Amino acid sequence: DGGITQSPKYLFRKEGQNVTLSCEQNLNHDAMYWYRQDPGQGLRLIYYSQIVNDFQKGDIAEGYSVSREKKESFPLTVTSAQKNPTAFYLCASSTQGSGQPQHFGDGTRLSIL
């Protein structure tokens, strides 16, 4: 079945530590996105990539970094510079272009130890 796989489902970060969240898709989509969701709130865009080896900052990119070396993969690193990283992180993908439906993975919940 085609879809988006996020791993791990739960992740814990220690103070001063960088952690990387995995996102893989086999939908042959060009575009991929990372969102942050806080309790009772909507989704906020962290980074997006319309094509391999290219990505743009979203509304809340500070303290995060990404790479897009392969079409299928868009890993997100939460750096120690992100002072409030506890949240639910969602990865999505779509065909290229605006106004395209986005398909989501089941998220990674990040907590601070």
Partner 1 sequence: GENVEQHPSTLSVQEGDSAVIKCTYSDSASNYFPWYKQELGKGPQLIIDIRSNVGEKKDQRIAVTLNKTAKHFSLHITETQPEDSAVYFCAATMDSNYQLIWGAGTKLIIKP
CA dist 47 and 17 (Å) reads: 20
- Please report how close the Cβ of residue 64 comes to partner 1 at its closest, in angstroms: 16
User: Which DSSP category does 33 fall into?
Assistant: E
Looking at 53, 83, 84, 99, which residue binds partner 1 (CB under 8 A)?
99
Taking the least distance from each CB to partner 1, the nearer of 2 and 101 is: 101
Q: Considering beta carbons, is residue 20 or 56 the nearer one to partner 1?
A: 56
Alpha-carbon distance of 15 to 2, in angstroms, equals: 36
According to the binding rule CB under 8 A, does residue 53 interact with partner 1?
A: no
Helix (H) or strand (E) holding 65: strand 64-66
Determine, following the binding rule CB under 8 A, whether residue 40 of this chain makes contact with partner 1.
yes
- Give least dist CB 90 to partner 1, A: 5
CA distance 110 to 100: 28
Each residue of 94-110: b (16+ CB within 10 Å) or e? beeeeeeebbebebbeb
Span from 13-21, 65-73, 76-84, 103-111 in contact with partner 1 (CB under 8 A):
103-111
Give contact residues for partner 1 (rule: CB under 8 A): 4, 6, 31, 40-45, 48, 50, 58, 90, 92, 97-99, 101-107
